[in-house]
Structure 1
């Protein structure tokens, strides 16, 4: 299942993944049609279970409710639906209804503040927005600032004078007459937010065919859980898995915590989990991974950054009957690599099907094996760009169809890809370039460290001082000197913590769990000035 083999053309210096094998979704060009047929043909499969309210929904129930919503939605073709809601029981029905109608939807995090909501919905200007009652005031304050007046429905809770999803799920009497719209494969299916690690999110357009090509079927009856909502691509993919195949998705409105993850794995005998590297680190560092009965787990997939060797090994020890996968990809260009090779824990693995990669230097020339440069990706799929942003689209993908990922890495002689860091996050000290993640992995080997984020304190345009924001575990008395001495012992002098160590109570992250380094840096340095 994960035996991809990368090939290398020494004349062009291009690496290529294997040819795509035929799959059950190849016959479809429309996501809505594929979902409709699976839900119709497998009516008794349990599609999802909400841990929050305990409600289980079978395929035929999801189908009926989604059809009713699709029939009642009053929206013009070409308009966009926005979603700003927790991962509650009936949220999935809204998304599926939009796909049935061929309507583009734009999910955003229900944790966004007014400024960010204003920015992202200012890009797509949705005609209808589904939110929870708890988010209504933030949504409307943001919309008023940009003169946006969408029709609003609440999914969870009610607001006086505002429509409610329950009203759209009432019987129409015509459910049996409904058929999904036939879309073209390159039509936009969803607009997702870019990661937001280096600034405000952009609207990433993802087509029907780009989503359909992402899936490798899992065994029938697989129970799945993703540690994120549908505004993040992993959460969306797991929702689609349960809609396109005979598997069951667990959803919850609760924010991620190590305790919550352990309880869900044990309660539902979960087989497949996907999360960010920082969430996995928290799961292990908290001690919950050691306490957890992981006997049901067959797949523990990690994305969103390098995984330190100790974390990788420790997680693999916990799930003796399964595998830990290290994955690499992006919202814009999809999955790139996957690795299940514990002997190469620093690698993100071999290329996926139909993926090609170039490594280029600062002069945009291809470089070869063991040479470091920016990772450029081609995936043989049309991309619709950033919504309403042709300038940033051109910056991301060039005229030959190569995505400029902004990630720095290299291939070894066996075709395994290694990530060094983000191009924008590579830091420099006295002419030496260094990676924040390498320092973070070093600090995480210390006992008593719960989380750490390394950022650069800019001295001038040529120099960044490595600086660490650290969360200590309860009762830990580790000092700044302890941490600085450890890094000085293990790493070369340019990576020493010349900018110091800040002990903090929390580290700002994107909704998917990635560190927001610029915000962390600003918070730490601002507190220093106040003190």
Structure 2
């Protein structure tokens, strides 16, 4: 056995041999009148029995439209109590679920629709125009069904009318190795790919989550475009707990929801952590139920870590590292790794259940050991099965490990640290420059809210670091002051020789990742 390969723990029991549709249907039957979902924005709730009845009616209506396991059904909506109903109905029929996001552009949405050719798209009212304009640019023929009211299209309400055979409906059996869910890569460096997970891989992900006692009430902000929302859905059904969601991250509403519904576990992206800064360290609500705060989608800065620790002194704050292709990669266990979680706040934990991890030198391709930086590569039975209508062979190495594209290392305790993306690194005088490390130093300046660093071409030297910076509200700073601060706090090769530009905002994906290519191109064009 290779001592340079870190191994996560094994599952205590095998995953159920069920489709996702069978899992959701059986769990909804079992949990009956228990609370299933909470819309914290509208302060509305729904039981498992109600969710089952409504989703069953929609499933029958989809069957009448000829939907089978071979079809793709797409969804483009924010979070409401209605959101999950046709998604569950699609799972019941063994059809493939593909989630879009209303915040995407027409160009992005058009590309995603063309990738998967959905037979039906369920759309929130505010996104109907987005879908209509996107479909005009493709040859895809699809039916639009609207969440809410529509004078032009069928509405979800039309599908939820009582059905004669709803009492006897059962999800049909499907091949567990078939595609169940289609996610899309973030597209920070190019157009997204359609990532396919099977019923089997999704069930296994759900079982790994059960090894963590996260309580009965889980809160998230992400739409179903992101794998975290699906994690929360599967986990809540398996435990018989309830899933809470908010449509936007308002600190007051969030804390009020935590207090009222006794939230146990909350998932945040780093971009949402900044919203808590408006509280100024004052929490007027009882958040004692909140045991665990998971932060994923990117690393938290030391400033964000300190803020969250001050606001939620009774909560364990954990950084989770994952990617859509495999789910969770690393995380500290809140009990077993309690000391590490306290003493290593910038680590994203230890390898997750059923997962092997290694670090590979970017230049030589050799596996390296403790405290040596390289590409993180993983092997897990939760790995996606394919890209939809695209080749995926180049994302695996000769040993079958998935190339994450992330640079990181693990320490002497086997704790993992993620530094940056390989594609975002650049070379200056043969030195690898890691943008996130420079960005971290920039955000330590008292006037800087956020910053994006990238390389600017500089002849034989390669690329020199440059930065676009957003200042905090009311803060003032000059380029000279920022440059002096950086010269005093980074190595010579990391100095901002490429220049500094102050901007009011930085383009990001819906989860807050910089669209660095767009930022860089805009900067260079202005030179």
Same-fold call, TM > 0.5? yes
Within-5 A mapping of 1:71-82: 71-73=60-62, 74=65, 75-82=67-74
**Partner secondary structure for residue 335 of structure 1:** strand
User: Residue 343 of structure 1 aligns with which residue?
Assistant: 343
**8 A Cα contact 2:205 2:382, kept in partner:** no
Does the aligned pair in 2 maintain the 1:46–1:56 contact within 8 Å?
A: yes
Question: Could you say which residue in structure 1 is the equivalent of 2:271?
Answer: 278
Partner of 2:119 in structure 1? 127
CA shift at 1:381, angstroms?
A: 4.0
SS in structure 1 of the partner of residue 205 of structure 2: coil
Can you list the C-alpha shifts for 1:18-52, whole angstroms capped at 9, x where unaligned? 212227xx223311111111111111221111234
Shift of 1:502: 2.1
Q: In structure 2, what is the equivalent of residue 137 of structure 1?
A: 129
- The answer for unaligned runs of 5 or more in structure 2 is 333-339
Alpha-carbon offset, residue 518 of structure 1: 1.3
Q: Provide the C-alpha distance between the structure 2 equivalents of 1:289 and 1:237, rounded to a whole number of angstroms.
A: 30
Given the alignment, which residue of 229, 235, 249 partners 1:235?
229
Structure 1: segments with no counterpart, 5+ residues: 1-7
Partner SS state of residue 233, structure 2 = helix
8 Å CA contact retained: 1:440, 1:453: yes
Q: Distance in 2 between matches of 1:56 and 1:106?
A: 25
Write the distance in 1 (CA, Å) between the matches of 2:481 and 2:289.
39
- What do you get for the CA RMSD once the two structures are aligned? 2.2
1:256 aligns with 2:256: no
Match of 2:194 among 203, 206, 212: 203
Match for residue 89 of structure 1 among 75, 81, 90: 81
Q: Deviations over 1:445-487 (max 9, x none)?
A: 2223322222222335852222222222221112222222222
Written as runs of structure 1 = structure 2, the 5 A alignment for 1:28-427 is: 28-73=17-62, 74=65, 75-158=67-150, 160-215=151-206, 216-217=209-210, 222-253=216-247, 255-258=248-251, 261-280=254-273, 282-287=274-279, 290-291=282-283, 293=285, 294-339=287-332, 341-361=341-361, 362-381=363-382, 383-390=384-391, 393-398=392-397, 400-427=399-426
Alignment: residue pair count = 512
- Residue 116 of structure 1 and its aligned partner are, at CA, apart by 0.7
Say which SS state the counterpart of residue 60 (structure 2) adopts.
helix
2:336 aligns with none
Residue matched to 2:466: 467
**Which range is displaced more, 331-340 or 312-321?**
312-321
Alignment partners' CA distance in 2, 1:257 and 1:52: 9
Deviations 1:210-258, CA, capped at 9 Å, x for gaps: 22222323669632221211101112212223333222222233x3355
Cα deviation for residue 107 of structure 1 reads 0.3
Q: Could you tell me the TM-score, scaled by structure 2's length?
A: 0.91
Change (3 A) 1:292 1:22: farther
* Alpha-carbon distance in structure 2 between the residues aligned to 1:429 and 1:211: 42
* Higher mean C-alpha deviation, range 293-302 or range 199-208: 293-302
- Give the direction of change, closer, same or farther, for the CA distance of 1:259–1:269 in structure 2 (3 Å limit): same
Instruction: Deviation per CA, 1:419-450: give whole Å up to 9, x if none.
Output: 22111111222222121111222122222332
Tell me how far apart the structure 2 counterparts of residues 487 and 182 of structure 1 sit (CA, whole Å): 60
Q: CA deviation at 1:181?
A: 2.2
* Equivalent in the alignment of 1:446: 445
Match of 1:4 in 2: none
Q: Summarize the alignment of residues 425-436 of structure 1 with structure 2, pairs less than 5 Å apart.
A: 425-436=424-435
Matched with 1:5 is none
The verdict on how the C-alpha distance between 1:378 and 1:461 changes in structure 2, with shifts beyond 3 A counting, is farther
Matches of 1:65 and 1:461, distance apart in 2? 64
CA distance in 1, matches of 2:317, 2:460: 40
